[in-house]
Amino acid sequence: MISLPFNGKLSLQQIQLISVSAYYVFNFIDRSISNVFLLLVLLLCLIDYKRLYEHIKEQRLLVIVIILLSTWVTFIGIYHQSPMHELDNYYRFLLLMPLLMITIKDHQMIFMLNICSLGALGHLFSTYIVGDMGRYDGTSSNAITYANLCALFLIMCIYFYFVKKHHSIYLFLSGLVFLFILVLTQTRGPLIGIIFSFIYLIFISRSRLLIASVSLVFISLIFIPNPLIERVKIIKQVTVESNPDPDNNQLIRESRSINERLFYLQYGLEKIKNHLMFGIGPHHIVKEMSSYTERNGINIKARDHLHNEFLDISVKFGIPALILLLLIYFVLYKSSDKDNQVMMNLILIMLISSQLTQSQFAHHQAITFFIVLSYLITNSKKQTLK
């Protein structure tokens, strides 16, 4: 049986942890409810302002860098006269800062992973009952976002099972659930982070069991027909055939998608050259991109983000914003307790990898999901729940 990680009378710290756990669980069931729990846990943290102040002092270097990024975003917003809705997602690190005070233990994290997998499985079944779902996007606005959430928790399950050696059948099954759903999203981007995470885990653990398991997973994905690998294989056809078969709708879609991403990359690099310091402003991308495509006769849809976070933030806010963002990641890496260093490294690997193929700040569910988890483990071994 799965035992509850909380016993006896609940303290305020435990209620905070339960609330943030509920936030994660409902990310896989109903995103609107998860947002309610996130607001609740933020309120509970602000109520406990004395402990919050102590934790902010303890993590003052991280706090300073976050404030610097928020200040720079504000300055650029004023400089370009950007509307607030174009800036608010870039304040996520600052707005979620009270969650730095919440601590989580290994058995509580594992329990949360198990419940999240049950929630994700329940949502999957309910979607199947309604009808044919095609490319599965779960509770997210698009499949890429949901795939990144599942990929991160898949890596967390693997970490606890093989590195921390919590050999629980429930944890093993939870990992399989997240892997299965990841395949159904047909999203290739998270494979980058998963591969790098596997390499890192194998290097630090030297576990033959992990090597065998990873090999089995990849061999199974390659040789057992599934929608994810089919989308990976079709890339070769897209790059080889400049004029795809007009009767192959999937090939046409993939060709259009890859051409769009290549164009966004080229367009973004060109914009950075001319707006290195202050960017062009977040609200100008669509208008300027539309003018550029019309002027050059390019049949590409103009978007407000470039499908690459590091390129996107540089174009919108200048290179200083990119430097400050990377500095936040570095400080997160340095600020985590040594017992949680591996977990923090895995979160950062998955986050940075996901931002190579998705502008995370344009999808607040994903960036919030990653930030909250990184905050939870910065000091989980330094403090104890009372």
pLDDT, tens digit (0-9, with 9 covering 90-100), for 162-182: 999 899 999 999 999 999 999
The set of residues, in sequence order, having a beta carbon less than 8 Å from that of 130 and lying 6+ positions away, is: none
The string of pLDDT tens digits covering residues 170-228 is 999 999 999 999 999 988 889 999 999 999 999 988 888 888 888 888 887 777 777 77
Q: What percent of the chain has pLDDT over 90?
A: 52
Structure tokens belonging to residue 318: 């200048």
What pLDDT is stored for residue 10 in this prediction?
77
The answer to whether the CB of 379 falls within 8 A of the CB of 59 is yes
Q: What percent of the chain has pLDDT over 70?
A: 87
Q: How far apart are the C-alpha atoms of 212 and 202, rounded to whole Å?
A: 10
Q: Is the per-residue pLDDT at 131 higher than 90?
A: no
Q: How many CA atoms within 13 Å lie on the side-chain side of 342?
A: 19
Residue of 282, 283, 305, 301 whose CA lies nearest to 292: 301
Q: Is the per-residue pLDDT at 380 higher than 50?
A: yes
What pLDDT is stored for residue 335 in this prediction?
83
What pLDDT is stored for residue 186 in this prediction?
87
C-alpha of 91 from chain center:
16
Amino acid in position 87: L
Q: Is the per-residue pLDDT at 339 higher than 50?
A: yes
What pLDDT is stored for residue 230 in this prediction?
67
Q: Is the per-residue pLDDT at 271 higher than 50?
A: yes
Residue of 48, 179, 56 whose CA lies nearest to 117: 179
pLDDT band at 318 (very low <50, low <70, confident <90, very high): very high
pLDDT band at 70 (very low <50, low <70, confident <90, very high): very high
- Residue 82 has φ and ψ, to the nearest 5°, of -80, 140
Q: How far is CA 134 from CA 35, 141, 148, 170, 312, in A?
A: 26, 14, 18, 28, 29
Tell me which DSSP letter residue 9 carries: S
pLDDT band at 9 (very low <50, low <70, confident <90, very high): low
What pLDDT is stored for residue 100 in this prediction?
92
pLDDT band at 38 (very low <50, low <70, confident <90, very high): very high
Q: How far apart are the C-alpha atoms of 191 and 217, rounded to whole Å?
A: 12
Our CA dihedral for 113, 118, 119, 122, rounded to 10 degrees, sits at 160
What's the burial of 324, exposed, middle or buried (CB within 10 Å: 0-12/13-18/19+)?
Answer: buried
What pLDDT is stored for residue 169 in this prediction?
94
Mean pLDDT along residues 135-162: 93
Mean pLDDT along residues 38-44: 96
Q: How far is CA 154 from CA 16, 150, 209, in A?
A: 24, 6, 17
The string of pLDDT tens digits covering residues 87-123 is 988 999 999 999 999 989 999 999 999 999 999 999 9
Gyration radius of the chain over CA positions: 21
Mean pLDDT, the chain, rounded, equals 86
Tell me which DSSP letter residue 161 carries: I
Q: Is the per-residue pLDDT at 383 higher than 60?
A: no
The set of residues, in sequence order, having a beta carbon less than 8 Å from that of 206 and lying 6+ positions away, is: none
What pLDDT is stored for residue 174 in this prediction?
96
Mean pLDDT along residues 246-267: 70
